[in-house]
Amino acid sequence: MVTDNGMEWELQRLGAAKGKLNEAEKTQWALQGKEKAWGPDHTSTLDTVNNLGNVYISQIKLDEAEKMYQRALQGYEKAWGPDHTSTLNTVNNLGNLYKSQGKLDEAEKMYQRAQQGKEKAWGPDHTSTLDTVNNLGILYKSQGKLDDAEKMYQRALKAYEKAWGPDHTSTLNTFNYLGNLYAD
């Protein structure tokens, strides 16, 4: 019996040993193995679909990333429902993608959905919730909604300081975003 982590690791190890596969190819190979072993709608397969979207984002292949995120989102919603944390993480990823594409209204809808769901699932001060709050702050600044951006940054900063302390990178990044907002 092959375990999820074992299979993924083995596929990536074999790919790396060949020395010819880039990150996307390795993840595609892992995806093909999972689709064969568990089917296209298994949640472990969907995790790899979402991860492939992340790889495509890093390679600035935004159309491919969107296809992967949409596939993962549809599968997660079917398997886990619209409020499951895996679903919400993919919703947040779509928000990031749409922001990168300049689709700011769509990004806002995704971030707001992710924020509301994460607050319900984990609470308002969970670090994953705060990451989405921070994303909303960045988006609001891009949209010129400076008061809304400030509220998001202040909320995230206060809770990050409580959760991680004043010297954590999440706290410092949010402090920097807030400082840049005030400087503009």
Q: For the chain, how many helices (H) and strands (E)?
A: 9, 0
pLDDT at position 87: 98
pLDDT for position 161:
97
Same domain, 169 and 109: yes
Mean pLDDT of 45-51: 97
| Model confidence at 115: pLDDT above 70 | yes
Residues 116 and 62 in one domain: no
Q: Are 47 and 33 a contacting pair, CB within 8 Å?
A: no
Angstrom distance (rounded) from CA 88 to CA 73: 8
Q: 138 and 66, same structural domain?
A: no
Segment 6-19 mean pLDDT: 46
Q: For residue 29, what are the domain limits?
A: 1-79
CA distance linking residue 19 with residue 71, whole number of Å: 29
51-67, pLDDT tens digit by residue?
999 999 999 999 999 99
Average pLDDT for 65-84: 98
Q: Which residues contact 183 (CB under 8 A, 6 or more apart)?
A: none
Q: Are 181 and 138 in contact (CB under 8 A)?
A: no
Tens digit of each residue's pLDDT (9 = 90 or more) over 125-170: 999 999 999 999 999 999 999 999 999 999 999 999 999 999 999 9
Asked if the structure places residue 91 within a domain, the reply is no
Domain CATH code at residue 150? 1.25.40.10
For the domain that residue 43 is a member of, what is the CATH number? 1.25.40
Mean pLDDT across the stretch 16-28? Answer: 70
Mean model confidence pLDDT for the chain: 90
Which of the two residues, 106 and 17, has the higher pLDDT score? Answer: 106
DSSP letter string, 29-52: HHHHHHHHHH-TTSHHHHHHHHHH
Same domain, 121 and 183: yes
According to the model, what pLDDT value does residue 22 have? 87
32 in a structural domain: yes
For the cut 90, the answer to whether the pLDDT of residue 83 exceeds it is yes
| More confidently predicted of 3 and 99 | 99
Lowest mean pLDDT among 64-68, 108-112, 180-184: 180-184
Within a domain: 85: no
State how many domains the chain has: 2
What pLDDT, on the 0 to 100 scale, is given for residue 21?
A: 56
Domain membership of residue 95 (yes or no) is no
DSSP 168: S
Confidence of residue 69 (pLDDT cuts 50, 70, 90): very high
